[in-house]
Amino acid sequence: MQCLGVSSKVAPDGMTNLSSLKIHIYADGAEISGILELAKNPLIKGFTTNPTLMHKAGITDYEKFARDLLQNIPSHPVSLEVFADDFAEMRRQALIIAGWGKNVNVKIPITNTKGQSSTSLIADLVKEGIIVNVTAVMTLQQVEELSQVVSPSLTSIVSVFAGRIADTGVDPVPHMAKCRDLLKDVPAAQLLWASPRELLNIFQAEEVGCQIITVTNDVLAKLKLIGKSLDAYSLETVEMFRRDALAASYIV
């Protein structure tokens, strides 16, 4: 895919090449066993979670889950999210969560549920040396506002939900390129491609200049397909159709 001067990353055989990627892949989930298994994979450079994923996983004790996770993942960056809607309470939670481990990145939503911007809170946390991961970002205006409050020297993460943007019919590639440009004067700010929908998004995020992409288990499971022969894949697909037709005993 080509857009705004972005070219496809391809290996000599025309297939996408995982080994040449510079982007950091963060696994997104809330299942401890799965996280620990993924931590063994050198491709995985960090972990993120959120209250929705934790709720779906049946987690009821936030602090216990977080401390168990951090005890087992002591070196990879781990993003843990505040869940308050009031900015004063968000700040209180952020300071507590940050204290759970040196590798914690505190996720702060770009607004509260009233649509009020959290940039003032983010600015305060950055001044206190908290590594923030600003989540649920979608608009260029939000990214521009963040560029004014994050530090040029302290790491911060700007998580732009490219997958959700794509769900609205908007091409996320040029959008993310504009986000990258808006952050060019704050070199410590890392642009994260969030909510990917397909494996190709990893390569698109790399080419557009994102430093991080969060990847869910369903997309991670497709990593083994990188470099796969399309002839072989075509044949396997035909074999699948034939096998299932026989299993269903279809007749005409």
Mapping DSSP onto H, E and C, the string for the chain reads CCECCECCCCCCCCCCCHHHCCCEEEEECCCHHHHHHHCCCCCEEEEECCHHHHHHCCCCCHHHHHHHHHHHCCCCCEEEECCCCCHHHHHHHHHHHHCCCCCEEEEEECECCCCCECHHHHHHHHHCCCCEEEEEECCHHHHHHHHCCCCCCCCEEEEECHHHHHHCCCCHHHHHHHHHHHCCCCCCEEEEECCCCCCHHHHHHHHHCCCEEEECHHHHHHHHHCCCCHHHHHHHHHHHHHHHHHHCCCCC
Q: Indicate whether 224 pLDDT > 50.
A: yes
Note the residue count of the chain: 252
Q: Terminal CA-to-CA distance of the chain, rounded, Å?
A: 42
Beta-carbon contacts of 209 under 8 Å, excluding residues fewer than 6 positions away, are: 176, 177, 180, 191
Annotated domain spans of the chain:
20-225
Query: Which listed CATH number (3.20.20.70, 3.40.50.300, 2.40.50.220, 3.40.50.1980) goes with 20-225?
Result: 3.20.20.70
CA 81, 110, 4, 168 dihedral sign is positive
Q: How confident is the model at residue 107 (pLDDT cuts 50, 70, 90)?
A: very high
Provide mean pLDDT across the span 153-177: 98
pLDDT digit string, tens, across residues 225-248: 988 999 999 999 999 999 999 999
pLDDT digit string, tens, across residues 192-219: 999 999 999 999 999 999 999 999 888 8
**Residue 16 has what pLDDT?**
55
Radius of gyration, alpha carbons of the chain: 20
Mean pLDDT for the chain overall: 92
**Residue 191 has what pLDDT?**
98
CA distance 108 to 84: 10
- Supply the pTM of this predicted model: 0.90
